[in-house]
Chains A and B, each alone.
Chain A
Amino acid sequence: MKPLDDENFDDSHVVVSGAAADTQESISRQIGDIHRAYAAERAAGGPEATQPRLDFAPYRSSILRHPTKDLHHVDPETIELFSPAFGHRDVHELEADLTIQHNGEPMGERIKVTGRVLDGQGRPVRNQLVEIWQANSAGRYIHKRDQHPAPLDPNFTGVGRTLTTDDGWYEFTTIKPGPYPWKNHTNAWRPAHIHFSLFGTDFTQRMITQMYFPGDPLFGLDPIYQSITDQNARDRLVATYDHNVTTHEWATGYRWDIVLTGSNRTWMEEEDTDQ
């Protein structure tokens, strides 16, 4: 982590001019229109949209930040068929516990979050880097320009890292993050979430996403979550409460598995062995 200074924090609350006047009703109506159009395409035999729309105007900041031309489809070449290697030189095992980074216990609900990282063929992604970052229990990030008037917690930074096991498992101990307001529109609130960063066996599988908690009442209102137009796909970002992960008199437990896109390298290796 770099120290917090003017060089490395970013402006969290810049909005496209005029956007602040949008009401939740207006944003929700736009989301509903896009979702209905998608449902009609699906009913007519269109493909399942497993990823968010890049062009999703209800998230105001996306308007000038989405490519307008189609992604160019290409076969990955050598370097793209590999991922960087990470090891215990890079990540200390204590970095997977976000509750022990300071002198005292952070405030809030202690949780465990665990699951497997798999590729599109269902195979575990082994010994690969998983990074997370999140708000504290009050919905506040350690970030100079996070101006939400909720308390910072001197015992919680909200950054963790780990390496997956040989079976693709990761596990973090942390604090359940709070929801927080943002300036997309009037009275805009993000559902509670943990940001995840993942690598696969191929660089093409690189993923940045957000994990959510079951039953969040803010799901329907959030243009970031709703930029995924397909309900099944949206559900894939929601962890499951798992009492087998919950530990006696210590922490409640959540299970969340992550599936990356298919590995082209291992496909090719399999083709090679078939020959």
Chain B
Amino acid sequence: MKPATPGQTVGPFFGYALPYDKDSELVSRAHPGAVRLHGTVYDGAGNPIPDALLEIWQPDDTGRVVQRSGSLVRDGYTFTGWGREAVDNEGHYTFTTLNPGATEAGRAPFIAVVVLARGLMNKLHTRVYLPEDAAALAADPLLAALPEDRRRTLVATREANGDLLWDVRLQGDDETVFLSFPGA
């Protein structure tokens, strides 16, 4: 194995470079299956971080991994499974997407997330799970390996209107579980 090139912080000045038109709209708001995934990114003092960037990558609503171009120039019809969102001045983000399906029968559906921010030295990986399928969540290998107070940082809350609420805490008692993978 060749050693990987080091990552570096995304810095403060990505705001004019990485965001683009409809970056966080994986589907249009008018799509019958459209769901809002939103929340706030917090630092260790509990303050919102105004200069974070999130990316999500997910299967479609049937659990299929999509390999289609068109994420950067969205045509409004093609679901590409990937999106990007710079948080606002109050640390809040919103994606418009589909509920991910289970990629295999009985598995807990989740969205893969990468977190970047000024002051954060390297990318962080995490997951946000749909809250509904209790049996699949209980059987999930990652979630099952975590104590309850850590586990819940990875499960979104379904709001009354169908929105998914999921906050990211970079540090502290409710710190989000961040992941490392083999080969990294």
Contacts and interface: CB of A to CB of B under 8 A. Distances in A.
Interface string A74-86: 1111111011111
Contacts of A13: 12
Contacts of B138: none
Contacts of B20: 1-2
A133 B119 contact: no
Contacts of B180: 71-74
B69 A86 contact: yes
Interface string A38-80: 0000000000101111101001111111111101111111111
Nearest to B45: A64
A243 interface: no
A158 B17 contact: yes
A17 to B, nearest CB: 11
A60 B9 CA distance: 13
Contacts of A225: 8
Interface stretch (A4-12, A25-33, A99-107, A246-254): A4-12
A181 interface: no
A142 interface: yes
B171 A64 contact: yes
Contacts of A120: 1-2, 4, 183
B72 interface: yes
A66 B72 contact: no
A221 interface: no
B161 interface: no
B32 interface: no
A65 B6 contact: no
Nearest to A206: B114
Contact of A86 (B57, B71, B103, B175): B71
A80 B59 CA distance: 10
A84 B57 contact: yes
Interface residues of A, number: 92
Interface string A249-261: 0000000001111
Nearest to A56: B121
B41 to A, nearest CB: 10
Contacts, number: 281
A207 to B, nearest CB: 6
A236 interface: yes
Contact-size category for B: 35 or more
A124 B32 CA distance: 40
A208 B7 contact: yes
Nearest to B78: A89
B70 interface: yes
B69 A90 contact: yes
Nearest to A225: B8
Contact of B123 (A129, A143, A207): A207
B64 to A, nearest CB: 10
Contacts of A66: 120-121, 170-171
Interface in A161-191: 161
A102 B125 CA distance: 37
Nearest to B107: A77
B55 interface: yes
Give 6 closest A-B pairs by Cβ, nearest first.
A262-B183, A61-B119, A87-B69, A133-B17, A10-B51, A84-B82
Given A69-B178, A85-B68, 17 more contacts: A1-B20, A7-B89, A10-B50, A11-B12, A12-B118, A64-B43, A72-B142, A77-B103, A79-B111, A86-B69, A120-B183, A157-B16, A195-B17, A207-B5, A233-B6, A236-B3, A260-B4
